[in-house]
Amino acid sequence: MHSSARRSSVRESLVLGAALVSVTLCASAGWAATEDTAGVKAPVSAVRASGESRCPVVYFDLGETLLHTADDGTTSYQRGAASYLRSLRERHIEVGLITNVPSSWGTTDAERAARLKQEVDATWQGSTPFAWEDFGHRILTPRTESERKPAPILWQRAKADSGRCRVVYEAETAEEVEVAASLGFVPYQVDRPYRPAFLPVGLIELLGRQPR
């Protein structure tokens, strides 16, 4: 893809995230009521098995997106993150992490994820533990130092792992959001002024119903 076309695609994806938030915030009360009584949504694994290709999977950065590290080194949920993850869980929307950790922490994603959990849990503050179980096998980490974000490989692996499902990426840094957008993710930069801290759950469900 030519650089000008790539820049245009990234801009369009970034605008999409902001524009869709506006659509969600302006949706009618009647539509919202329908959403609340629509029933339980099937897990993405079941949807994928049935041949459906529009199921959403939401990937996150970890530090300063879902977790906050204080000056004293302790960690806790970023404001609003615990309730947001709970809302996604209640709607059966699958989630994943795309996060940089030292590649020396293990030879597999599972080993590196286990070390990550140990590091976070050792410094955790608060009565509610981090919801590691929500992410299952979807904790993607660099296999080599050259794979560290913003290198594209982790997003590429996430997209491949999600089959034909629509994929979302939420992070606090503009650079990561732009890379994700260039690779076909629906991007959202979290905790920005004058808009929701996270991409609204109702919008994510709506994205899952739209043709790709």
| Cα–Cα distance measured from residue 205 to residue 93, given in angstroms and rounded to the nearest whole number | 8
pLDDT of residue 212: 60
Containing H/E element for 114? helix 109-122
As a whole number of Å, the CA-based R_g of the chain is 17
Percent of the chain topping pLDDT 90: 70
Say which residue, 10 or 194, is predicted with more confidence: 194
Q: Is the pLDDT of residue 14 over 70?
A: no
Residue 38 pLDDT > 90, yes or no? no
Q: Give the Cα separation of 95 and 92 in Å (integer).
A: 9
Of 34-38, 77-81, 146-150, 206-210, least confident by mean pLDDT is: 34-38
In the numeric block, which tokens belong to residue 158?
A: 């996430």
Residue 114 exposed, middle or buried by CB count within 10 Å (0-12, 13-18, 19+): middle
Give the model's pLDDT for residue 1. Answer: 53
Which pLDDT does position 126 carry in this prediction? 83
pLDDT digits (tens, 9 = 90+) for 101-141: 999 999 999 999 999 999 999 999 988 999 999 999 999 99
**15 or 103, which is more confident:** 103
What is the 8-class DSSP label of residue 195?
S
Over residues 164-171, the mean pLDDT reads 96
Report d(CA 38, CA 110) in Å as an integer: 36
pTM: 0.78
| Token couple for 16 | 């999409």
Structure confidence at residue 35 as a pLDDT band (50, 70, 90): very low
Label the pairing between strands 75-77 and 67-69: antiparallel
Residue-range domains of the chain with CATH: 3-209 (3.40.50.1000)
Percent of the chain with pLDDT over 70: 73
Q: What's the pLDDT at 202? A: 95
The one-character DSSP state at 124 is B
pLDDT of 149 reads 98
